Amino acid sequence: MARLLRVQYEGALYHLTVRGNAQQAIFLDDHDRERFLEGLSRQVETHGVRLYLFCLMTNHLHLMVETPRANLSAFMSGLLTGYTVYFNLRHQRSGHVTQGRYGAKLVEGERYLDKLSRYIHLNPVNWEGVREMPLTERLRVLREYRWSSYRSYIGQGKRWPWVTYGPVLATMGGKKRSQEDTYRDYVERGLAETNEDLQAVLKKSAMGIGSEDFCGEIEERYAVLVEKARQKEDVAFRVRRGTKSAEEVLAVVGKEFGVKSQDLLRRRRNAVDRAVTAWMLIRYVGLTQREAGVNLVMGSGAAVSFQLKRLQKGMRDNVVLRRQVSAIEKQLNQGQ
């Protein structure tokens, strides 16, 4: 089955879900969670995304984001590619960490922002083993759970500087302090209530969370995308897929230059091995210059372009470097 095209437009609001491959854990410990949140904060800043809330579980996660620049795909590509590289290196694994594509449903914010935020923040107490606990215990688990934005929403934890709190709290009315209290009461009432209306809306459409009119509008936007895809030659849509994983590239480059794969991800001045890594990630994994720059902490796509030009000049002047790059390419070309 062909993948659904992503409906993207300025100001779009999404409920995003990411699940572990074969239902396996995507976070093995708190270090993994901290590293994911570090990457999330960088991507929010890099792509100008407004992150409303997050909730990290063991084998899946939820995000609610608004995209003023209509760039959801670039944001999620940078986020998940970076975390996959980190996770596989740290835990000495290979292959996919997440299951297929991430879920992305457009949200009718005016009607469902508060309901959906409550649904996401209640995730830590709605899984087997906690759901059957007494109400007081579930309340304690919810308020003590560190890996969601809930505590910061109700004033029990420091606010994350890269989370945008205003739109959700504004649905509660009143002043800031009263908004936090009202939101806490609203969410925690959900411990004893079942929101059957929201559950029905979540199941109704594969593309949107909202009214019939809203979901119909999303389907119309999607139909336009499909028609454009049919009419265009594959200049825009037949993108060359990468033939290697990022982990394979890092391992080959690291071996050739005699450095650890992790060191290739760390910022170092005049590090030609990192420039080579960027080039190989673009050529063999299929990353854009911007994505390579984000994952190698090089900066923007323009910064990567500058490094690649320096690399080309260095290869013209340095026979040893040419041989190293040739050896790397030979290894990565094997099996293609």
Are 124 and 255 within one domain?
no
Residue 7 lies in a domain: no
- Report whether 194 contacts 97 (CB < 8 A): no
For residue 172, is pLDDT > 60? Answer: yes
Are 197 and 253 within one domain?
no
pLDDT score recorded for residue 234: 37
- Report whether 5 contacts 226 (CB < 8 A): yes
At 281, which CATH number? 1.10.1750.10
Mean pLDDT to the nearest integer, 260-287: 87
For residue 155, is pLDDT > 80? Answer: yes
Residue 61 lies in a domain: yes
The domain of 162 spans 12-231
pLDDT score recorded for residue 186: 95
Residue 232: band (very low, low, confident or very high) from pLDDT cuts 50, 70, 90 = low
In angstroms, rounded to a whole number, what is the distance separating the alpha carbons of residues 336 and 155? Answer: 54
Residue 5 lies in a domain: no
Are 150 and 290 within one domain?
no
Residue 324 lies in a domain: yes
Are 95 and 205 within one domain?
yes
pLDDT, mean over the chain? 88
Residues in the chain: 336
pLDDT digits (tens, 9 = 90+) for 307-326: 888 888 888 888 899 999 99
Are 73 and 124 within one domain?
yes
Q: Which residue among 231, 266, 292 closes a domain?
A: 231
- Whole-angstrom CA distances from 65 to 26, 95, 187, 202, 318 are 20, 27, 19, 17, 47
Are 121 and 210 within one domain?
yes
Are 154 and 19 within one domain?
yes
Residue 73 lies in a domain: yes
Are 48 and 161 within one domain?
yes
Are 119 and 219 within one domain?
yes
At 225, which CATH number? 3.30.70.1290
Q: Which residue among 179, 206, 231 closes a domain?
A: 231
In angstroms, rounded to a whole number, what is the distance separating the alpha carbons of residues 112 and 118? Answer: 10
Give percent above pLDDT 70 in the chain.
94
pLDDT digits (tens, 9 = 90+) for 18-77: 999 988 999 999 999 999 999 999 999 999 999 999 999 999 999 999 999 999 999 999
Are 148 and 71 within one domain?
yes
Instruction: Decide: residue 182, CB within 10 A, 0-12 exposed, 13-18 middle, 19+ buried.
Output: middle
* C-alpha 218, offset from chain centre: 22
Are 184 and 81 within one domain?
yes
Domain count, the chain: 2
Are 56 and 118 within one domain?
yes
